[in-house]
Amino acid sequence: MLRALLLSLTLLASLAHAAPTTTLQRAVDLETPMGTLHGTLLLPQSEAPVPVVLLVAGSGPTDRNGNNPEGGHNDSLKRLAQSLARQGIASLRYDKRGIAASRAATPDERDLSVELYVADVIAWSRQLKADPRFSRLILLGHSEGALIASLAAPRSEADALIAVAGSSRPIDQVLREQLHYRLPPDLLAQSNRLLDRLVAGKTTENVPKDLEVLFRPSVQPYLISLFRQNPAEAFAQLSIPALIVQGSHDMQVSVADATMLKAAKPDAELAIIEGMNHVLRIVPLDVKAQLASYDNPQLPLARALIAHIVAFIEATGRTPASSIGNTGR
């Protein structure tokens, strides 16, 4: 514990004394057979090539900045990109197809699938790998984005991967667990029947009104593609250095998920950020405080999050992933 504390303090001190970096912001596009995807590149000014992080957002209509009309405006990915830029690390974040500025690429959510999202990460990756301004490519997926990044990694030619708040279990199991504590018995039974059908690859047209937000017919094809995936198995197949980052106060993904990802790939680094929640802020384990943080872009990101990510990127640029500790705030 003392060693981890000292290491965390060292990492934070290195960030505090980092020289300010001038950053250029550029709009970038990716042409795909189904339309154009739009993103934002943050590029620290440097005479030498710099590492670039491809940020992959989480589930639902989450945009390039980490905001979701159904889950709040917190700018989690935007703030993360800005923090990386201050440390001399470039980043590209983008609106997924069907979302925000990339909506026209796939306007009907019936046409979305995990496989399509994976193909987009691979295409963005190849575009970045071909850019001489970048020395290395790191995939960073948040929440469901961790799964998408893991599935894309083998064909992306990425040099390393960072999974932030990523589940280790098939997502239908996570949903069952979450809904068990939130739904009355009759609706819970109906939701479990719907989940059973989706896992079996079958859609349901008549969905109870109270469950439409989760199981509306138009989103069911995507859920079927999602439930086919096993995050731990995808993570285990990675042959590149990997970092797992998990907050101890995350009410959507547990520390147990992080430890199971670690077990799936024992050479991965594991960083448990004490007090960090799902939107990457230090927040008490209080429901009101947690919900408020999802809609407050002014809250600072957890400092240890940036410290661990930067240390991992720097370490993997020199040698295979080395230990960066397993706790910190």
In the chain the domains, ranked by start, together with CATH numbers, are 2-169+230-328 (3.40.50.1820), 171-228 (no CATH)
The answer to whether 283 and 250 have CB atoms below 8 angstroms apart is no
Per-residue pLDDT at 71 = 76
Per-residue pLDDT at 22 = 85
Which two structure tokens, joined as six digits, stand for 41? 């590149």
Integer Cα distance of 69 and 61 in angstroms: 7
Instruction: Return the bridge partners of 92, or none.
Output: 41, 54
Which residues make Cβ contacts (< 8 Å) with residue 255, sequence separation at least 6?
Answer: 246, 248, 272
Instruction: Return the bridge partners of 140, or none.
Output: 55, 162
Per-residue pLDDT at 70 = 81
Instruction: Return the bridge partners of 26, or none.
Output: 41
Query: pLDDT by residue for the chain (329 residues), tens digit each?
Result: 433 433 444 444 444 444 446 899 999 999 999 999 999 999 999 999 999 999 999 999 999 999 998 878 999 999 999 999 999 999 999 999 999 999 999 999 999 999 999 999 999 999 999 999 999 999 999 999 999 999 999 999 999 999 999 999 999 999 999 899 899 999 999 999 999 999 999 999 999 999 999 999 999 999 999 999 999 999 999 999 999 999 999 999 999 999 999 999 999 999 999 999 999 999 999 999 999 999 999 999 999 999 999 999 999 998 544 343 444 44
Which two structure tokens, joined as six digits, stand for 103? 């909506």
Question: CA 91, 97, 98, 104 torsion: positive or negative?
Answer: positive
Integer Cα distance of 261 and 162 in angstroms: 12
Per-residue pLDDT at 21 = 61
Which residues make Cβ contacts (< 8 Å) with residue 22, sequence separation at least 6?
Answer: 44, 45
CA angle 97, 214, 224 (to 5 degrees): 65
Q: Nearest CA to 313 among 6, 91, 42, 128?
A: 91
Which two structure tokens, joined as six digits, stand for 206? 């008549």
Could you say which DSSP state residue 42 is in?
Answer: E
Which strands form 160-164's sheet, in the order they lie side by side? 23-32, 35-44, 90-94, 50-56, 134-142, 160-164, 242-247, 269-273, 327-328
Integer Cα distance of 28 and 15 in angstroms: 28
Q: Using DSSP, state whether 324 is helix, strand or coil.
A: coil
